[in-house]
Amino acid sequence: MILDIFTVDFLRNALVGGVILAIVLSVLSLFIYMKSWSFINIGISHAAFGGLAIGYLAGISPSLSGSIFAVIVGLIIGYLSRTNKLHEDLSIGILLSLSMALGVVLISFSNNYNSDLFAFLFGNILTITTEDIVLLGIFTLFTLVFFYMFFDKILYCCFDDELAKVSGINSELLYYSLLSTVAIATVLSIKLVGSILSSAMMILPAATASQIFWHYRKILISSLLISILTVVLGIVISFEFNLPSGSTIVIVYSLIFFILAITKRILRLDV
């Protein structure tokens, strides 16, 4: 029954963790949409596999090692693109291949098949613990405070980085801070939907909201509401029909996107 979600511990954890993650990813989604960084999240989520493998092999927290590794990869991507005039997509392609290869090599040193490691590839929201929720909540709080303090400046940099520099804004610091935040959020979302599908939860919220609205504040608020609704609906559907939770959430996201895109084209909405 649907009411079991609120009475069974692991289902309640999945719901709470999913909603918190939906909040932080929907906020990041706006800036990923504005910067056209859709491929960055894909690259970091796959590159983090190398960091996760290091954690398992060294006997430390995979989330910690994966986050550190993902941040390093994100910073390298940013450095290569800004100093060598190398496009982010090319930097991502190089580091993604290297990191995945490193992860596979490290796994080969282990004699045992580690199902927990591969769970990070495909995700399982039902395994979220209270400690995971606390960690996710702390990260979300810091992220929201960061964007609240620098929201207008980050938007300025997204629209015109060069003009932002001339205006006295430290665009370099904001650029690398945003990359680091995306990297950590990517690793934390891996446990929910896996590295293969985590990018959807950062790309689809703003992309879906943009089918109805064009103003960035309306996109932010609507993507936040859509994300929460989608995660809750996805968890309920997956529980009722015994489906993979992460994949179900992404399918619901995609259906909402296509429905709104088709409706917009038919009605020619532009709010």
Asked if 267 and 245 count as a contact pair (C-beta separation under 8 A), the reply is no
Q: Which CATH architecture has domain 2-267?
A: Orthogonal Bundle (1.10)
Q: Residues 11, 4: contact at Cβ < 8 Å?
A: yes
- Looking from the CA of 69 toward its CB, the CA atoms found within 13 Å total 28
Q: What is the pLDDT of residue 60?
A: 81
Question: Could you tell me the two tokens for 167?
Answer: 């205006």
Looking at residue 23, its pLDDT comes to 92
pLDDT tens, residue order, the chain (271 aa)? 556 666 677 788 888 988 998 999 999 998 888 887 777 777 777 777 788 788 878 878 777 888 888 888 888 888 877 776 666 667 777 777 888 788 778 777 766 555 555 566 667 777 788 888 898 899 999 999 999 999 889 888 888 788 888 888 888 888 889 988 988 888 888 866 777 667 788 888 988 888 888 888 888 999 999 999 998 898 888 888 888 888 888 889 889 999 988 887 787 655 5
Domains in the chain: boundaries: 2-267
Q: Note the pLDDT of residue 141.
A: 95
Write the secondary structure of 118-180 as one string of H (helix), E (strand) and C (coil): HHHHHCCHHHCCHHHHHHHHHHHHHHHHHHHHHHHHHHHHHHCHHHHHHCCCCHHHHHHHHHH
Terminal CA-to-CA distance of the chain, rounded, Å? 39
pLDDT of res. 172: 87
**Distance of alpha carbon 4 from alpha carbon 71, whole angstroms:** 38
Cα angle 133-34-229, degrees, rounded to a multiple of 5: 40
How high is the pLDDT of residue 196?
64
